[in-house]
Structure 1
């Protein structure tokens, strides 16, 4: 079996394509697991108090970052699975405890079982295991996808109806990302965090969308959609697995400077520092416990020593003695804050609200002055933990989408208007480890739409485009534009279009996205393409997902609802 691994060898994201052997850790190769499986803490959250939304969102992103870091250290053989899991579980325990404290401080009640979700384990991919038993080399660790993740669409039995939902439709024309609006942020799931997704998204619609977007900035932005529709649509890119490094959308120093109020940019508000490139504090002057002055009282950037896109000291000096405090602003070697403040700093450099985050505790993995490890980073690597591209093991040429975006009745007789700034996530980016409860992947081929796949990618015949389809949740709770886990405020209707009690029908968004996969890939490669994913999700097709923020002007939403309810196609 051909196995492709991306090994980051430096801060520039250069990758070597080859085979990673799972060896040197003292473990039995036959028992080698293929990924790290952690409970998804976000799914346990209901309504998060307003005052805790920002720190909780940032700490959820920190948990993702910790898993990506542990996976990289284990996958690159820098640590055994026991070492990686031991460090990861300790980090997660501290972060989750701090998250619970944030919720309580804001007047809420943290889920009782949240702290029990700190423990992760190793998980064997069944497809990989079967491939190894079929003749794969013992001890090899597969990055994914594998040949078993693909199936010839002509070998699939019809399993889906091609009937259209009753009622009318409203199509919004938003282009195909000709503007190359890419980033690895997720403003819904990880607001304020650069590279919060650890994979690159295609964007159409609202031109402002990134980790720092707000309702106000979205409402003031331009759009690629017709009729003044400022809505945001974004989904993970598809890459041709051709061995190329397509770094569009990956985080670099310019991204950090721009997001942090660099030249010509408005400074980001406190709390919107980014966990990967801007706030990861690899022993580079970020205070491990000293009280911080308000943002407007900070000393000049050149004296702060904080990692905001500026030149960093060499990696070998990280965690060692720092320059005098008057130049750094934040000496790592100084006395730690009182115990009650130490649990609040497991946030890898993401600034906390002043009253809760001024005592920031120890940085992840650096309580003993140790240098923080980096995903895929070999000796002397300068890259931060992930950048959405090669550093997060997303390698290959990004393919151009051909997107059709329309709203339907979802089977309901009548639909009501969506509220402006309603946020919806469909599918689950972590479905490989979470299971299929929230999965909503649907893969097919042009001309074979009656054959839909969730757990495999289709191999389409020549001249037939590869299709991914997203049918979004179409029942709204009537009150909230978002929820703590970004799911509870929305639901799916049943087959007759009926919503759960307490929910009402709204237009169902359907995104149909087509791709022309290079024919030579389909003929000559076991793994011709893949969706971008969190590194530990191994690019599995079931992890496919999409995101939507409704920023239609109210009169346009009224037009869409009227078209649907009056059985018109607009």
Structure 2
């Protein structure tokens, strides 16, 4: 098979996948936000970490693919720890500098968002064009790192070096299973969200990430990077044999030029589906600061 024929075959396979999924690229953009989240107001603690002004980007994943450069196969955007990459260890993270206040050396990261009608500088690089992720990377206009308490009980401080993931980077190929937690919104429509790309007009486009907040009490990680921390049950109580810890909520805002197409980075087989949005976290907050944070949340109940 010639290279030209092979390339055509690949394009046909990709096109077939889109048709079979029933979601063309146009179907992935919506003007109406179809999910309403009615969450009670709870006091929280915000840690200011900037918006990645220094442009800390890489195609690594120190939570899911430690030790494997370019293991993410898509590019991540980071705030917090300035050293986070595939070769990070607990010791290297603890020794690094940070963009966050209060000496919070934690690392917070998620896939970049790109304008897809242009060409980015990584068009021929790992994590970029070599893995099917093309376009100009958009810089966030806002990043909020918020920790909230439990609505039903006091919380324990997070253990140092706790690793968390939220969302499913394989949501498209896995049939949008229970780990899918993509939440897209518009700043002018609070409380309303969608799992598709929202068309927000002149309003800020938002990506929101909620992390599990019920810890098993023993482990800072697990084989799946999920089973050591669960999500609360309906009503906010933790499942049996788990303990409430501060609930991490990250909101990232972007100004997207009106009328221009955009998409997140993803694994090539996920076709940049908006439902594959996800985020990761490693807690490297000083123990005294985490204890103070938990105490503040408990005192505000």
Separation (CA, whole Å) in 1 of partners of 2:81 and 2:14: 47
> Where does residue 360 of structure 1 map in the other structure?
none
* 8 Å CA contact 1:417, 1:558 repeated in 2: yes
How big is the shift at 1:240?
Answer: 1.1
Question: In structure 2, do the counterparts of structure 1 residues 21 and 125 end up closer, same or farther at CA, with 3 Å as the change threshold?
Answer: farther
Structure showing the higher helix proportion among its residues: 1
Report 1:375-524 matches (<5 A): 387-401=126-140, 402-434=142-174, 435-454=176-195, 456-462=196-202, 464-521=203-260
Match 2:86 to one of 205, 208, 211: 211
Q: Which runs of 4+ in 1 moved over 6 A?
A: 29-32
Q: Does 1:163 align with 2:40?
A: yes
Aligned length, in residue pairs: 295
Residue 519 of structure 1 deviates from its aligned partner by 1.8
Partner of 1:124: 20
CA drift of 1:506 comes to 0.1
SS in 1 for 2:173: helix
User: For residues 17 and 188 of structure 2, what CA distance do their matches in structure 1 show?
Assistant: 35
Instruction: Tell me, yes or no, if the aligned pair for 1:22 and 1:32 is still in contact at 8 Å.
Output: no
State the alpha-carbon separation in 1 of the partners of residues 26 and 7 from structure 2: 19
Counterpart pick for 1:176 among 29, 51, 55: 51
The Cα RMSD (Å) is 2.4
Q: Following the alignment from structure 2 to structure 1, what is the Cα–Cα distance between the partners of residues 109 and 14? A: 38
Deviations 1:89-144 (A, max 9, x none): xxxxxxxxxxxxxxxxxxxxxxxxxxxxxxxxxx932223xxxxxxxxxxxxxxxx
Q: Would the aligned equivalents of 1:481 and 1:489 in 2 still touch at CA under 8 Å?
A: yes
CA distance in 2, matches of 1:485, 1:494: 20
Cα 1:212–1:459 change in 2 (3 A) is same
Is residue 34 from structure 1 mapped to residue 21 from structure 2 by the alignment?
Answer: no
List runs of 5+ in structure 2 lacking aligned partners: none
User: What displacement does 1:159 show?
Assistant: 1.9
TM superposition score normalised by structure 1? 0.49
Q: Using the TM superposition, give the Cα deviation of residue 182 of structure 1 relative to its aligned residue in structure 2, in angstroms.
A: 0.4
Gaps of 5+ in 1: 1-8, 10-19, 36-122, 129-145, 252-386, 522-527
Give the Cα–Cα distance (whole angstroms) in 2 for the partners of residues 468 and 516 of structure 1.
12
Measured after TM superposition, the shift of residue 484 of structure 1 is 0.5
Q: In 2, Cα distance between the equivalents of 1:170 and 1:543?
A: 28
Residues 325-374 of structure 1: per-residue CA shift (max 9 Å, x gap)? xxxxxxxxxxxxxxxxxxxxxxxxxxxxxxxxxxxxxxxxxxxxxxxxxx
Corresponding residue number in structure 2 for 1:257: none
Give the 3 Å change call, closer, same or farther, for CA 24–486 of structure 1 in structure 2.
Answer: closer
Whichever of the two has the greater Rg, that structure is: 1
Q: C-alpha displacement at 1:244, in angstroms?
A: 1.6
